[in-house]
Copies of this chain bind each other. A is one copy, B any other.
Amino acid sequence: MYGKEIEKELEARGINLWDSVRVTKGKEAYEGIVMPRTEAGDENVLVIKQNDGYNIGIEIKGAKIEKIAKAERAPEQRQQAKRPLQNLSKIALLYTGGTIGNKVDYKTGGVYALTKPDELLDEVPQLAGIANVDTKKISSVASEDMVSGNWAVMADEAAKALNGGSKGVVVTIGTDTMHYASAALSFMLEGLTGPVVLTGAQRSSDRGSSDGFLNLVCSAHLASKSDIAEVGICMHSTSSDDKCHFIRGTKVRKMHTSRRDAFRPVNSMAIAFVNSEGDITYNDRYRKTGSSGKVKANAKFDNAVALVKAYPGSDPGIIDYYCGKGYHGIIIEGTGLGHVPNLTEDKKKSWLPEITDAIDNGVVIGMTSQCLYGRVNSNVYRTLRMLGQAGVVYCEDMLPEVAYVKLGWLLGNYKPEKAKAMLNQNIAGEITERTLYDEFVD
């Protein structure tokens, strides 16, 4: 509740929360949606959410308020979608944790995770005009702390929502490991009937530069309107606040610690671009909706898989370390086309003997490149042939992180021999036959 002065003004003009208004004060005019007063907010400062997603507080004294349009739905209907609007599709919004729902803790100065998914709807009232949104909190985990069990819950809940009549699913998640999660869901979900859109925020919603608003709005448009039947990530495509791209869940990577357009396609192009108005431009081929069967979640995952980086001076004993712990699979981030230190001056630094031993003991070993862009190839150099002959699976143009997730999923669902055979066969768009060069570093 605002203070008496504001409440009186609103009542006199028949304005309710979430209605669109124009506020004029002096020479300035602001348009937006009337937001509820925040707990710490001044009772005499009216908060409206502008069309660019940013909130502005206006001291009521001397301000003139006009009503532009009534909210499509009252708050309680909007939040619970209890009385859906017939012209809008139903989508599910699964909240898992992460910056998009973060608030600053003013006591410590740090940022911590909120646990109320409905608050996202309060923050982005525009969602109510895009779809009938069913929100559900399915976890409260920062993405850096996620393990495969968290991905399994997401897969199960996404399948349940789609099978329950949702046109699409939006999953809000922390950005740190969003691309690991999108890869996991890509493998886990079978027979998708609609888009599963992962999104989040690089900057928390209390900051002027927050990106969560546009990301959520664009994700809701994609989930409710697009005919894409794939898992992907929808985040800013440029450092401007103008549009998002939707990138296949197995061809995407967080490439910057803080930029809003941190998520980039690697060895691929964005599937689509979308703006806050809901205009969708398709940019590449994709799997379309049309399946009428049930969506299935194959969420089993073998956690005894490791991702290991090879580099000058790196210790090959790490292969033996994981074998000793009973691991079933190892993905190596090799150098260049898929090398490991081998013919080094220091014999203890040669990886081939350890790798051969591991393979002989039934461990599946896959090779990727720390270059990230491009494709590993065991046919160019003699030492690569030796690795290939030892039984290392060269993972084509797959990202190291994706190969790691894929191998864990394969070993969770298939016997080792079968998993090994499937590792460099395309399942969910993670391998492309020809690498397109359109998306490379500037």
Contact = CB atoms under 8 A, between A and B. Distances in A.
Nearest to A338: B257
A3 B117 CA distance: 82
Interface string A327-363: 0000001111111111111100100000000000000
A149 B381 contact: no
Task: Please indicate which of the listed interface residues A334, A340, A342, A374 has the most CB atoms of chain B within 10 Å of its own CB.
Answer: A374
A226 to B, nearest CB: 24
B257 A374 contact: yes
A40 interface: no
Q: Interface residues of A: mostly helix, strand, loop or mixed?
A: loop
Contact of A257 (B142, B376, B442): B376
Interface string A35-63: 00000000000000000000000000000
B369 A257 contact: yes
Interface of A: 105, 108-112, 141-150, 175-177, 180-181, 239, 254-259, 262, 264, 303, 305-309, 311-315, 317-318, 321-322, 325, 333-346, 349, 369, 371-377, 379-383, 385, 401, 404, 408, 437-442
A9 to B, nearest CB: 38
Given A176-B339, A307-B314, A339-B176, A345 B147 contact: yes
B441 A439 contact: yes
B375 A257 contact: yes
A111 B377 contact: no
A369 B401 CA distance: 14
A254 B438 CA distance: 18
A255 B345 contact: no
A124 to B, nearest CB: 22
B343 A145 contact: yes
Given A176-B339, A262-B371, A264-B442, 12 more contacts: A142-B339, A145-B343, A145-B344, A255-B372, A256-B440, A257-B336, A257-B373, A257-B374, A257-B377, A305-B313, A308-B309, A441-B441
B312 A256 contact: no
A309 B336 contact: no
A299 to B, nearest CB: 14
Nearest to A150: B345
A289 B383 CA distance: 41
B349 A254 contact: no
A259 B262 CA distance: 23
Contacts of A314: 306-307
A382 B204 CA distance: 14
A240 to B, nearest CB: 12
Contacts of A379: 109-110
